[in-house]
Amino acid sequence: MKRGDIVAVATPGDFGKARPALVVQSDLFTEHPSVALLLMSSEIVNAPLIRIKVIPSEQNGLRAPSQIAVDKMFTVRREKIGSIIGHLEDEIMVSLNRAMLVFLGLA
């Protein structure tokens, strides 16, 4: 599992159903017991600065248009993560990186 992979995960709490999530943790931490993820949803909302739209492709493995929720970051233990669904395209990762910088106040 590496940064940019889309994985299946069931989260605790309000977002408890199984859904795709994007690995955003640096590949430098492959031995760390938990992984930082961003939730993804097929429920499209109008929030251009914090929701990144992703169209299904063979590379990303999604079945429906979805959004990466930059405002829904969480960590989960590695053993709680299911299979890798696909990998996010490079141009979308660039947009995501910019959105994360803005959301986290680093830009």
Q: What are phi and psi of 5, to 5 degrees?
A: -75, 145
User: How far is the CA of 102 from the CAs of 1, 37, 63, 92, 106, in angstroms?
Assistant: 26, 17, 28, 16, 6
Q: Judge whether residue 11 has pLDDT over 90.
A: no
Q: Judge whether residue 93 has pLDDT over 60.
A: yes
Where does residue 45 rank: exposed (0-12), middle (13-18), buried (19+ CB within 10 A)? Answer: exposed
Q: Judge whether residue 56 has pLDDT over 70.
A: yes
Contact (Cβ atoms closer than 8 angstroms) between residue 87 and residue 62: no
The strand pairing partners of 5, in sequence order, are: 87
Domain housing 95: 5-104
Q: What is the pLDDT of residue 54?
A: 98
Number of domains the chain contains:
1
Q: Judge whether residue 1 has pLDDT over 80.
A: yes
Q: What is the pLDDT of residue 16?
A: 61
Q: Is the pTM of this model over 0.85?
A: yes
